[in-house]
Amino acid sequence: MRLVIFGAGGMGREAADLARRSEEIRVRYSEIVFAIDRPEGPVDGLPVLAPEEIGPEDEICIALGSSADRHRLAERFAGHRFAHVAAATAIVSPSARIGVGALLCDHSLVNNNAVIGDHLQANAFAQVSHDCRIGDFVTLAPHVSCNGWIEIGSGVTIGAGAILRNGSRERVLHIGEGAVIGMGALVVRDVPAGAVVVAPPARPKDEAPA
């Protein structure tokens, strides 16, 4: 049984690196390979397959940064088995539940009683705290901090360094389906489905905000 990392771009190469460092993954799979639609040769020393070369016993990790692209490929490969790939440094609480196809990068954290859907991508140092509820195809960029009692809809993308404030059992913080939260944003209230919220970008000290 091979681990097939679909995508050989930056995210795919990072996924391959963490897979090769994980003793658990090396023991589970006979080989780690890439797959892309137009293979042209090895990438970082690993073979690259065409999609039709993926066998029924292989397990696929969709390593694409776009939530929409992961959704599209999950539908395309429906009927195949999807791999849960976690870095050796990732931490997952025994009480947490994670769906199929998750990619947990170095030092990512899924904490107590969190419930996560399919095909999560949690980049390096992304944190999901206690009692969060996260839908399918959610993307957490590096250093995202989702504090406790947050509900995140499917297809949400959260940019690097964004912080989502803590909700509570009585007042959960809601992020609607398909929302995009920009890098460095501080989210203190609910975000509607499909909304885009951003933080002010860095600017020279004497430059007035637009």
Helix, strand, or coil here: 13?
Answer: helix
Residue 82 has what DSSP assignment? E
**Among 82, 195, 45, 68, which residue's Cα sits nearest to residue 139?**
68
Identify whether 71 is a catalytic site residue: no
**Among 184, 136, 135, which residue's Cα sits nearest to residue 160?**
184
Residue type, 86: A
Host H or E run for residue 26: helix 23-28
CA-CA-CA-CA torsion sign (177, 181, 186, 189) = negative
- Catalytic residue among 119, 130, 143, 174, which? 130
Distances (CA, A) of 33 to 2, 46, 69: 7, 6, 20
Report the greatest alpha carbon distance in the chain.
60
Say how far apart CA 52 and CA 152 lie, in whole Å. 34
Distances (CA, A) of 35 to 42, 61, 100: 10, 10, 19
Residues taking part in catalysis? 130
